[in-house]
Chains A and B, each alone.
Chain A
Amino acid sequence: QIQLVESGGGVVQPGRSLRLSCAASGFSFGNFGMHWVRQTPGKGLEWVALISYDGTKKDNVDSVKGRFSISRDNSKNTLYLQMNSLRAEDTAVYYCAKDPYGSGGDYFDHWGQGTLVTVSS
Chain B
Amino acid sequence: EVVLTQSPDFQSVTPKEKVTITCRASQSIGSSLHWYQQKPDQSPKLLIKYASQSLSGVPSRFSGSGSGTDFALTINSLEAEDAATYYCQQSTSLPWTFGQGTKVEIK
Contact = CB atoms under 8 A, between A and B. Distances in A.
B46 A45 contact: no
Nearest to B49: A107
Contact of A59 (B36, B49, B94, B97): B94
A107 B91 contact: yes
A95 B89 contact: no
- Of the listed residues B34, B43, B87, the one surrounded by the most CB atoms of chain A closer than 10 A to its CB is B43
A70 to B, nearest CB: 13
Interface in B45-75: 45-46, 49
Nearest to A35: B96
Contacts of A59: 94-95
B34 A107 contact: yes
Contact of B91 (A44, A61, A105): A105
Contacts of B34: 107-108
Contact of A106 (B36, B44, B91): B91
> Chain B interface: which size bin?
10 to 19
Nearest to B87: A45
Contact of A111 (B43, B49, B91): B43
Contacts of A27: none
B100 interface: yes
A44 B89 CA distance: 12
Contacts of A62: 95
A106 B91 CA distance: 5
A112 interface: yes
A45 B95 contact: no
Interface string A56-85: 000101100000000000000000000000
Interface of A: 35, 44-47, 50, 59, 61-62, 95, 105-114
Lowest 9 CB-CB distances: which A-B pairs, in order? Answer: A111-B43, A47-B96, A107-B34, A45-B98, A61-B95, A106-B91, A109-B46, A44-B100, A107-B49
